[in-house]
Chain A
Amino acid sequence: SLVQLACNSSKTRSVSVDLNNDTALIIDIPDALCERDKVKFTVHTKTTLSSFQKPDFSVPRQHEDFIWLHDTLVETEEYAGLIIPPAPPKPDFESPREKMHKLGEGEATMTKEEYTKMKQELEAEYLAVFKKTVQVHEVFLQRLSSHPILSKDRNFHIFLEYDQDLTVRRKNAKEMFGGFFKNMVKTADEVIISGIKEVDDFFEQEKTFLLDYYSKIKDSTIKAEKMTRSHKNVADDYIHISATLSSISADDSTAIKKHFEKLADLFEKLRKVEGRVASDQELKLTELLRYYMRDIQAAKDLLYRRARALADYENSNKALDKARLKSRDIPQAEEQQQLCLQKFDKLSESGKRELTSFKGRRVVAFRKNLIEMAELEIKHAKVMLTMIYRCLFDNAYAIMKLALNVVTSRPFP
């Protein structure tokens, strides 16, 4: 189990654009603790708003608390026209845990040096998973704090401020809502959304786009993840190769000794950079895709709620016609129809706003991350090129010197 991680939030934030713009409410997760499988996040708030009791405070929170907050927001009728920021995924240490298991099994076949390096790699991976999960929980809160409506939510303030354990509140909430609405959305949205007769061109286009884009981005996320994992495997192989080359070099007494030594050294240097290439790719590409996949699901949820509201409105129309036919309960039916229409209009208006700003946000985030990824790839490749050239020179120079048997102080003019 790892100990406290102090992470600088501004560095790790990558998938969303600057979210702490509004200085009235600044949220970050400055550190987190990992005990067994439970991660405890320290949520820190700095605010000038009078609605809070203190201007600067921190509370400990678990992943389940974030989920509770997300679910209450989803269940809130008032926010039906908003894209609710996607809930952060559960911290997943499965991959490094599996690796640790394998490392334990293979310990006997490795040299002490090799084992130490593999362990270092493993610790780095734990750290990376840790950083990722902190980042994703932090971004969730920051999306809320920068939203004009959601930032004022009462449960959000409770989440930030309540200095007791939220577990009791969580249980109550579950009993109240039962997650009914959430479950319905998950299973039915595609069918319902596709089924409605759309009158608004904007929403017609959005529907088509979002449904298609979701499946594509989901696929890309999976493929990017596989690609990153292969990259990490290559970096790990370099460790073993470097270690064995070192052993061979140690036992060798011919002129090859130095060459093996240098090659071992090169592989060791390269694997560190390759590891960074893999993790940068993961952060800038895989995590980007993953985040927007979930964000698009949230947008789809909004479309679903609007579709439901439209269905309700259509039903209320039918009920009104029926009432008129029977000449009974007409005022109630009229009122109901009005309510449904209002709700639907509100959702449409709010939805349009949200979806437009969502597109802008998505484009900006992709741009930023793609640029950063390309720049990092170039930087790492240049670093590796320099290392390889150095090794090449050292090797070739030795051969040349031997061949020409020249003793000079400068090898090149």
Chain B
Amino acid sequence: VCVWGQAEPLNSNGQNSLLEEEEEEEEEGEDLFTGSLSVPLVLSLSRSLSLSLSLSLSLFPSATEEVSLDSPERDVLLSDGPSPVTPPASLISPHLPHNHLYTHCSFDEMEEEDTPDLFDISILVSDPEKVGEGMNAYMAYKVTTQTSMSLFKSPQATVRRRFSDFLGLHGKLATRYLHVGYLVPPAPEKSIVGMTKVKVGKDDSSSNEFVEKRRAALERYLMRTAKHPVLLKDPDLLTFLECSELPRALSTQALSGAGILRMVNKAADAVNKMTIKMTESDTWFEEKQQKFENLDIQLRKLHCSLDSLVCHRKELSVNTALFAKSAAMLGNSEDHTALSRALSQLAEVEEKVEQLHQDQAGADFYLLAELLADYIRLIGSVKGVFDQRVRLWQRLQDSLLLLQKKRDAEAKLHANKPEKLQQARDDIRELEGKVQQGERDFEQISKTIRKELFRFEKERVTDFKEVIIKYLESLVQTQQQLIKYWEAFLPEAKAIS
């Protein structure tokens, strides 16, 4: 656990020792790789590597899953309704300066408890099936959960869910957790165009692609939600994964990812949102906010470039197919026998290459582009919780201001109006309570956000690393196949006499 806890630096100031060690190691390792690697050596190395890699990834899952929350906090969080959560007083000491708690120790050491379960859960979304006809038709997806965790009734559960069910789940989780600073993963977006094609019954590649894109997005959504230690214990999530019947989620327009954020925003003082200038006492938040702004811009730019790549690679695939057909025709027309044969073989090679480009475009999209799209949406959530914290601060300031006014007013009042004085004192007491609550809320959300961002950054590292490896493997696959195809063609070309 400690290894993972120290793996990432908590603040942007300087690297920690393990990172430096990593740098050193890589330089030593470089010895093996100087000069060009011969392909057979490289192939055998990759086999042993991928074996040990899959082993290591399964033995050492990210430490975030091993962190469990204190039980009293959990109970409190499970209460429904959008009212702010009141954590037990024992957990919060509002007067402690924030920096002290978080910069030098990992969260694991702070909140470690006997973990009841090692995080072990896999969720698959599969087998999309069209149900019904016409404009009332919808796609139903199979959701299979496999787990050894005691949270679940059984180690395997299979249910059928439709898209609005997912939106309904997300809606419940968002209303419950977003406003106190938890990063609730956003649900996939609705798409009127995409769904209409499916409803109308177009069985072409674009509507198939749409369904596949949605299926993959729903799977990632559930896994990301389940990976969250707080959300995993939410009864609505458990119900979603385990119960065969689910009450139909209504008015899902309001419950799309963007819709939820809008709702949460509206619940607070929307007018003030634009004009709030918070005096940030904690530079950590300022830094992080700036970082996420920058990251957002960069990820969007990268996503744009990847979109372009996917588009061009698909074009390449199409053009290769067209050329293949043309080369086949040319081969038929050629009257020199050996050349005719070679041209036909060329056409066959190009047909296979076309499929390679198509597959690579798929990897470009489903691995890289969709990951970036997910993170761009997640950063939207991050911005949302930052904004929520600012709103709580604003509320606190408003209460403080009002308290001061009432105190000033009370001071002016005198004994000649006893009922008014009493009323004023009652009011003040109430406001004092409100201020205390506001301070607690603000502390709580600040603490939660720090924890959430820590977990988020770790998950981001794991996610990206995993995807980068998978993507590189797809590139390897493509090049290996290319070599195979052209090596098979070469003797054909040489056979021309």
Cα-based distance from A255 to B468 in the complex (angstroms): 13
B39–A399 touching, CB < 8 Å: no
Instruction: Tell me, yes or no, whether A176 is within 8 Å of chain B by CB.
Output: no
A407–B323 touching, CB < 8 Å: no
* Of A251, A374, A401, the contact of B298 (CB 8 Å cutoff): A251
* Of A247, A395, A401, the contact of B468 (CB 8 Å cutoff): A395
Q: Give the contact-size bracket for chain A.
A: 35 or more
Name the interface residues of B2-23: CB closer than 8 Å to any CB of A. Answer: 3, 7-9, 12, 15, 18-19, 21-22
A402–B22 touching, CB < 8 Å: yes
Name the interface residues of B343-402: CB closer than 8 Å to any CB of A. Answer: 343, 346
Cα-based distance from A225 to B33 in the complex (angstroms): 38
| A377 and B53 contact, Cβ closer than 8 Å, known pairs A240-B305, A370-B346 | no
Instruction: Tell me, yes or no, whether A230 is within 8 Å of chain B by CB.
Output: yes
Cα-based distance from A212 to B334 in the complex (angstroms): 9
Interface string of A341-381 (1 = CB under 8 A from B): 00000000000000000010011001100110011011001
Cα-based distance from A221 to B322 in the complex (angstroms): 11
Cα-based distance from A366 to B344 in the complex (angstroms): 13
For B497, list chain A residues within 8 Å (CB).
367
Instruction: Tell me, yes or no, whether A204 is within 8 Å of chain B by CB.
Output: no
Name the interface residues of A196-255: CB closer than 8 Å to any CB of B. Answer: 205, 209, 212-213, 216-217, 219-220, 223-224, 226-227, 229-231, 233-234, 237-238, 240-241, 244-245, 247-248, 251, 253-255
Instruction: Tell me, yes or no, whether B135 is within 8 Å of chain A by CB.
Output: no
Cα-based distance from A392 to B471 in the complex (angstroms): 9
A393–B33 touching, CB < 8 Å: yes
* Of B22, B37, B465, the contact of A389 (CB 8 Å cutoff): B37
For A241, list chain B residues within 8 Å (CB).
302, 305-306, 309
- Distance to closest chain A CB from B332 (angstroms): 8
| A370 and B29 contact, Cβ closer than 8 Å, known pairs A237-B305, A245-B302 | no
Task: Say what secondary structure dominates the interface of chain A.
Answer: helix
Instruction: Tell me, yes or no, whether B336 is within 8 Å of chain A by CB.
Output: yes
**Residue of B whose beta carbon sits closest to that of A217:** B330
B22–A256 touching, CB < 8 Å: no
A259–B476 touching, CB < 8 Å: no
A253–B12 touching, CB < 8 Å: yes
* Of A254, A389, A410, the contact of B476 (CB 8 Å cutoff): A389
For B473, list chain A residues within 8 Å (CB).
392
Interface string of A388-402 (1 = CB under 8 A from B): 111111111111111
For B325, list chain A residues within 8 Å (CB).
223
* Of A205, A359, A389, A405, the contact of B46 (CB 8 Å cutoff): A389
A392–B46 touching, CB < 8 Å: yes
A395–B342 touching, CB < 8 Å: no
| A388 and B320 contact, Cβ closer than 8 Å, known pairs A216-B329, A378-B486, A402-B7 | no
| A256 and B39 contact, Cβ closer than 8 Å, known pairs A209-B335, A370-B346, A399-B56 | no
27 contacts between A and B (CB under 8 A): A212-B333, A219-B329, A223-B325, A227-B322, A240-B305, A244-B301, A244-B302, A247-B298, A251-B295, A255-B19, A255-B461, A363-B336, A374-B487, A378-B483, A378-B487, A384-B479, A385-B476, A390-B33, A396-B49, A399-B56, A400-B56, A401-B25, A404-B56, A405-B3, A409-B28, A411-B29, A411-B32
Closest 10 CB pairs of A and B: A230-B316, A403-B56, A367-B496, A223-B323, A237-B309, A370-B493, A240-B305, A233-B312, A385-B479, A381-B482
Contact residues of A with B, CB < 8 Å? 205, 209, 212-213, 216-217, 219-220, 223-224, 226-227, 229-231, 233-234, 237-238, 240-241, 244-245, 247-248, 251, 253-256, 258-260, 263, 266, 270, 359, 362-363, 366-367, 370-371, 374-375, 377-378, 381-382, 384-386, 388-405, 407, 409-412
Q: A359-B336, A367-B493 are in contact. List 18 more A-B contacts (CB 8 A).
A: A223-B323, A227-B323, A229-B319, A238-B309, A240-B308, A244-B305, A245-B302, A251-B294, A259-B468, A366-B342, A367-B496, A370-B342, A374-B486, A386-B37, A396-B469, A399-B56, A404-B56, A411-B29
